[in-house]
């Protein structure tokens, strides 16, 4: 997984992008989000 910040995430489509700490935009699919229940990301959140 990439360390960075959520750029945007579309809950209905199940994907979005993270801006990595190195400045690259990285695609993320809901299946890569770890956790129980509904898996989503919020714009601006730090991820790793």
CATH of the domain at 4: 2.40.50.140
38/24 Cα distance (integer angstroms): 27
State the pLDDT at residue 1: 63
pLDDT less than 70: residues of the chain: 1
Q: Is residue 46 part of a domain?
A: no
Residue 41 lies in a domain: no
Q: Is 20 exposed, middle or buried (0-12, 13-18, 19+ CB in 10 A)?
A: middle
- 12 occurs within a structural domain: yes
pLDDT of residue 36: 80
Q: If you search the block for the tokens 């770890």, which residue do you land on?
A: 34
Per-residue model confidence (pLDDT) at position 24: 97
Measured distance between the N- and C-terminal CA atoms of the chain, rounded to whole angstroms:
6
26 within a domain of the structure (yes/no): yes
Domain around 12: 1-33
pLDDT given for residue 33 in this prediction: 85
């Amino acid at each position: 997984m990439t360390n960075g910040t959520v750029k945007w995430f579309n809950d209905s489509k199940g994907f979005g992008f993270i801006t990595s700490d190195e400045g690259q935009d990285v695609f993320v699919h809901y299946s890569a989000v770890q956790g129980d229940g509904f898996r989503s990301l919020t714009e601006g959140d730090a991820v790793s």
